[in-house]
Structures are given as structure tokens and as C-alpha cells.
Amino acid sequence: MLELKNVSKVVGKDLHINDVSVQFERGSLNVLLGPTLAGKTSLMRLMAGLDRPTSGDVLIDNVSVLGKPVRSRNVAMVYQQFINYPGFTVYENIASPMRLAGVDKKTLDTRVREAAELLRLTEFLDRTPLQLSGGQQQRTAIARALVKQAELVLLDEPLANLDYKLREELRIELPRIFAETGAVFVYATTEPHEALLLGGQTATLSEGRLTQFGSTIDVYNRPQTLSTAQTFSDPPFNTIALQKSGDSFSSPLFSLPVTAADFGALSDGAYTAAVRAHHVSLAPSEKHSVTLQAVVGTSEITGSETFVHVDAGGNRWVVLTHGVHRVNPGETITLYIDPRSVYLFNSNESLVHAPTQYQPEQPVQAHHG
Amino acid sequence: MKGTKIIVVFVYILFLMLPIYWLLNMSFKTTNEILGGFSWYPQSFTLESYKTIFTDPTWYNGYINSITYVLMNTVISVSFALPAAYAFSRYRFMGDKHLFFWLLSNRMAPPAVFVLPFVELYSAMSLFDTPLAVALAHCLFNVPLAVWILEGFMSGVPREVDETAYIDGYSFPHFFVKIFMPLIAAGIGVTAFFCFMFSWVEMLLAKNLTSVSAKPIVAVMTRTASTSGYELGLLAAAGALTIVPGAIVIWFVRKYIAKGFALGRV
């Protein structure tokens, strides 16, 4: 078990990691999700022991490892850049941690060949990393991390620099490959999509703070703050400021009766409503009962989906529709919102209402488009 | 177009090679012929000058002495500069940038400034007139240069390679020798070349820190020119021979010199 206790890291005058406390269980898959510069890499470096926290403690199995140099800790790390030993062959690259650990030749050879087989590197074992493609180089680095059988495996955006197809493949294989080792597996990514595909647990990071930690689906469905919600949403949440008085939430653009969904007994005051792009529709339906006028900015067509960027009274919104949908820039259109998929945050940006189907007492289901 | 290019290159090389040709030309002439008149090639071809150099101990010892202190200096400079350059490349510490610049500024001071104190100091340490004295003195400008060049090459290696090695379990010395040094082999080669060349051509310190037993070839050459009249043929032959070691060394590092230039450090 890896535990961080009130860990902070100050570099110069900048607070890179701000009072992070978290526990990762053995054999668990943990995703660190956050935008660039949120502190994912800094946090991983602290976990690995490459950096020392300014304050706080890092414990493995309840024993502080702060005094332990990185070479005597049992960790493996894969960087976003493809980092290998350029002078060694792929075989020697993979074998390197075992050679230092004094593993006997036969076991070493078996393990290198197994890892190479698993990561489809067998035919490249005699080449040097620089003669390989980016994907093969990264697989070499992953193989090296794998054979070490470390108790802590840190993957820092390992697939970010790979091409699409390879990413899809490795993303599915990686958790499976490492699951058998029983290690604490930590995976950093900027993409909400990737976190959902990996499953496990997710810790969201924002400006060096750990904003939420829990099962990935739960964090996705019930982000406790607006910042977590934005971190775990791509395209970003559509937000609008509302004022509740009496029996409706209203803004200059539209009003939302409290009876539209199970909004319960919220006191009067200022709220921020947030709704995901795929819960906004361009066509009316029974469910989508709240309407809003917006002016079309641009639209991105990916083929199976169309993202329509609109301006709703000064708020930039994104609407996701299925199929190819043509809208003209400058056109005023009506957006239809399902009130039961609206999140409400109070003036402190804390969650006060999540869509009914995601209430914690109900069974949680993956729901993403 | 192609024709013009070839002509331009040809003229340029001719222009560069002319003095060297003239040196070789003179080295195969007798002194009388050199002083006698102008000729494009030796009228009475002779190897007498070279023969003298290779048989007279005062001459060939000059070469041996020079090679000795140059090699010593190259080894000392590179081995001291390696850890220093690594520190400048990988760590941030108080005054690191100033120190780095200060190192470089040592190259700006004329060696003449240091001659007197060095002679005094080395005499006191009984180092005077030994190859080691010159080798150490030349560290004055070669260590900063080596640090400067090596730092550029080292900074080209991602820091993550170091970290991966530590994570894999390498100790620092093991990592440095087994992984890091092979990665910057080209840089070490280029650095060694420049240390070699600067030490080889330096005359002031080399001449003043030696008297008899460790006299470098550059000092032998100046002496010959002044004491036994004008032995121009001999001098030319000695000059031609001093080009040889540099030419050999440059042959080995020719591929990497360009990389050094690309890093802006050479």
C-alpha cells in the first residue's frame, strides 16, 4: 500500500503540490487525471522518490520511505517521452533492472523473452532503441518496467506520444499486463476518456491539489466541485449562472422550475448549473424540456458525431449531436436541455445536486457518450 | 553552376593550402636554396632536415616532451571536466550560472598573466622543468573549455535517462560509466581533441615552465632559429612535423566536430 500524507512540494516560489493525502491499495489501478501542469508528474516523482517532498510523508506499507534512495526502492516508471538506454540493445534494455538485481541468467532470459513476447518486441531484441519506431521504443520502456516486478508502477502519460491505433491497443493491454504483478499501479493522463476506459480509481488533480479520489465512475458521475467536474469532462461542462428564488432557477436566458427534476429543498441564492455536451440536444423531445437560445459559432464534424460550439448569452457552450449535423455560423438556434441531467453547484463551487440517476444510493452505471 | 562551385572550392582550398605547401616545399630544400632565390619546388630535393630531426635527441626529445604533456593534460582536463560538466548540466545550485561564466572567463585571461606565478610555484613544488608542470598549467584554459563543451553534450541527454537508471537500481558511478559516458562519447572525443590541440599549440607557458629536460618542440624550434643562424630548412621540417599529430587526431573526431559546432559550444 502506498500512502501520501499531507505531501507538499515547493519549487522556488511555486507550490507544485499542495497538501496531497491519498492511499493506493496493492493491486489497484489508480488514474491521476488532470490538465497539463496540474501536478501529475510532480506527484509521481514524489511517489517514486525522485524528488523529496517539502513537507509531508510518503509511506509504503505504513513505513516511511523518505530516507530511502530511489535505487533501493522497488519502483518502475515509464515516462511520456520514450526513455531507454540508447547504447543498449532492446534485450539489454529490458534486462537491465534484473542484471542489477542479480537475477540468474536463465530466469533473466526467460523473463526478458516473456515480456518481449507480451509487448510484441521479440523480433527487435537485437536492435537498439533508436532503430525502432516510437511505439516500439515505448513498449521497450514498458517491458523494462514490467520485468522488474516492482511494487509500485508509475506510468506518466505513457501513451500520449503514440499514434491512435497503438494507444487503443496498449490502453486495453496495460492494466491487464500489470494486474498480474499485484503492484500499485498509477497511471497519469490528461484525458477523461482514458480514465474511463481504464476504470479503477481516479484521483483528479487541479493546480497541485488533489480535488477528489474515488472509483472512476463515481468521480465521473458525482464530481464534488466544479473544478473536478471540468477536469473530468471533455468537451468541458456547459455552465450557466442561475439565481434561485421561490420555485424556479432563473437566468436572463431561461428558467428552470424546481419541479423539473428532483432538485429538493435548496435554499434561495446563486447557483451554477452544469450540463454535459451530450445532454444538450438540438432537437426537442419529451425529456429535453428546458430551452435556451444560442448563436452558433463553429461546428466540428468527426463523422459519427458533431460538436456545435455556441454562444448562449455570453456562455460558451458545446453541444454534441450524433451523426453529421450542418448548422450555419451566426444562426440562432434553440438548445433543448434535459433538466434531469443538470448538475448544480453552489457559490463555493461545491456540488449540491447531481442528476437523479447518479445519486449514491442507486446503483451506479457508466454513462458516457 | 556546378562548374563554378567546383572552381570556387578549388580556389579556396588552394588559398588555404598555399602556406602549408610552402612549408613542405621549404622543408625539402637546403637552407642555401631557401635563401638563394624564389622557386616553386625544391631544385635539389633533400631529406637532410628530417633526418636531423629524427636523429638529433634535442630535436626528437622536443616532440616526445610535447606529446607527453599534451596527453597528460588531455587526460587530466577531460577527467576533471566530466564530473564538473555533469554538475552544471544536471543540478541547480547557488551561483551556478556565475561559476559557469567564471570558468569561461579564465579563457579570456592571457597566459602571460600566469607565467611568473606559475614559474615560482612550480619551482617551489619541484615541478619545474617536468612535463607534468606544463600539463597542469595548460589545465588553466583546457578544463574550462572541456567543461563548456561537455556540458553542451550532456544537456542533450534527457535527465529522465539518469532517473530511469536510478530507478532500475544503478548507483551513480555505475550509471555514469556504463550508461552516461557511452552516450556522450562523441562529446568526449571532441573535447579531447580540443584539449589536445590547444595544449599542443600553446607556447608561452610550455616554454617558460621548462628549461632542459622537458623542453617542448615549440621551444626547441625558436631556439634553433636564433642560435645556429638561420637553419630555415630544419625549421620548416620541424614545422611540418608539428602539423602531423593534430591531423591524426582530427581524423578520428572529424564526424563529431560538426555536432559540437551545432551545439554552439565549440
Q: What is the ipTM, given to two decimal places?
A: 0.80
Percent of chain B with pLDDT over 90: 33
d(CA B257, CA B261): 6
66-95 in A: which are within 8 Å (CB) of B? 69-72, 75-77, 79, 81, 83-88
B78 compared with B126, residue with greater pLDDT: B78
Has residue A366 got a pLDDT over 60? Answer: no
The pLDDT score that the predictor gives to residue A285 is: 82
Percent of chain A with pLDDT over 70: 97
The pLDDT score that the predictor gives to residue A362 is: 44
- Mean pLDDT computed over B121-140: 90
Bin B62: left if φ > 0, else alpha if -120 < ψ < 50, else beta: alpha
- Average pLDDT across chain A, whole number: 87
139-178 in B: which are within 8 Å (CB) of A? 158, 160-161, 163-171
Burial of A223 (0-12, 13-18, 19+ CB in 10 A): buried
Has residue B7 got a pLDDT over 80? Answer: yes
- Average pLDDT across chain B, whole number: 86
Ranking A202-211, B61-70, B94-103, B128-137 by mean pLDDT, the lowest is B94-103
Where along chain A do the CATH 2.40.50.140 domains lie?
A: 235-358
Class of domain A235-358: mainly beta
Tens-digit pLDDT profile for residues A93-139: 999 999 988 889 999 999 999 989 888 899 999 999 989 988 889 99
Instruction: Specify the 3-state DSSP secondary structure of B266.
Output: coil
CB within 8 Å of B1: residues ≥ 6 apart: none
Q: Residue A100: its chain B contacts at CB < 8 A?
A: 168-170
d(CA A216, CA A31): 8
In terms of residues, how long is chain B? 266
pLDDT class for B228, splitting at 50, 70, 90? low
Nearest to A100 among B164, B170, B183 (CB): B170
The pLDDT score that the predictor gives to residue A40 is: 93
CATH number of A2-226: 3.40.50.300
Q: Residue B170: its chain A contacts at CB < 8 A?
A: 71, 100
Class of domain B50-262: mainly alpha
The pLDDT score that the predictor gives to residue A101 is: 87
Where along chain A do the CATH 3.40.50.300 domains lie?
A: 2-226
Give the residue from chain A lying closest to B184, CA to CA: A87
Give the residue from chain B lying closest to A81, CA to CA: B160
Tens-digit pLDDT profile for residues A25-63: 988 899 999 998 899 999 999 999 999 999 999 999 899
Q: Where do the domains of chain B lie?
A: 1-46, 50-262
Has residue A152 got a pLDDT over 50? Answer: yes
Tens-digit pLDDT profile for residues A252-307: 877 888 877 777 778 888 899 999 998 888 888 878 778 888 999 988 888 888 89
